[in-house]
Amino acid sequence: MSFAVETKLWVDALVRRASIGGAYSLVERVGDEKRGDVVIKTRRPNGDVSLIGRAFSPNEEIVFQFIRPENPIMTEAEADAYLTKRISYDADIWIVEIADKEGRHFLEERILPIIENDPFR
């Protein structure tokens, strides 16, 4: 995702990619259409949930990272608690849920690897 692309357009493209790929997707929360942040909630048939959000990149590249990279699989209650907290301080956030039998997220952007011994976690 480029900073030049408005969030609504980017979210629409993600939902379309998921649909073409045979997944079910739903925009759970609509944020700021131009610059809202995005969290993707992936769901597998067994109920496992992961959250992926945009991450900081010093070169302004749009990258993503699992919200809990050391153990990205979480319960629905854990995911909902995180999202509720996040909404409380970021009213502009978009939440997109993707249910896919393979657990795919359909992001084209780079997902940062887990950093062992990350001092900020």
Q: Tell me if 2 is assigned to some domain.
A: no
Q: Tell me if 116 is assigned to some domain.
A: no
Q: Tell me if 1 is assigned to some domain.
A: no
Q: Tell me if 80 is assigned to some domain.
A: yes
Q: Tell me if 73 is assigned to some domain.
A: yes
CA-based radius of gyration for the chain: 14
**Residues in Cβ contact with 82 at an 8 Å cutoff, skipping those fewer than 6 apart:** 51, 67, 74
Average pLDDT over every residue of 91-107: 95
The domain in which residue 57 lies consists of 7-111
- pTM of the predicted model, to two decimals? 0.85
Q: Tell me if 117 is assigned to some domain.
A: no
Is the pLDDT reported for residue 104 higher than 80? yes
Instruction: At 2, list the tokens.
Output: 């480029």
Domain tally, the chain: 1
Decide if 91 contacts 31 (C-beta within 8 A): yes
pLDDT at 115: 54
pLDDT tens, position by position, 32-91: 999 899 999 999 999 999 999 988 777 777 889 998 877 889 999 999 999 999 999 999
| CATH label of the domain that carries residue 17 | 3.40.1530.20
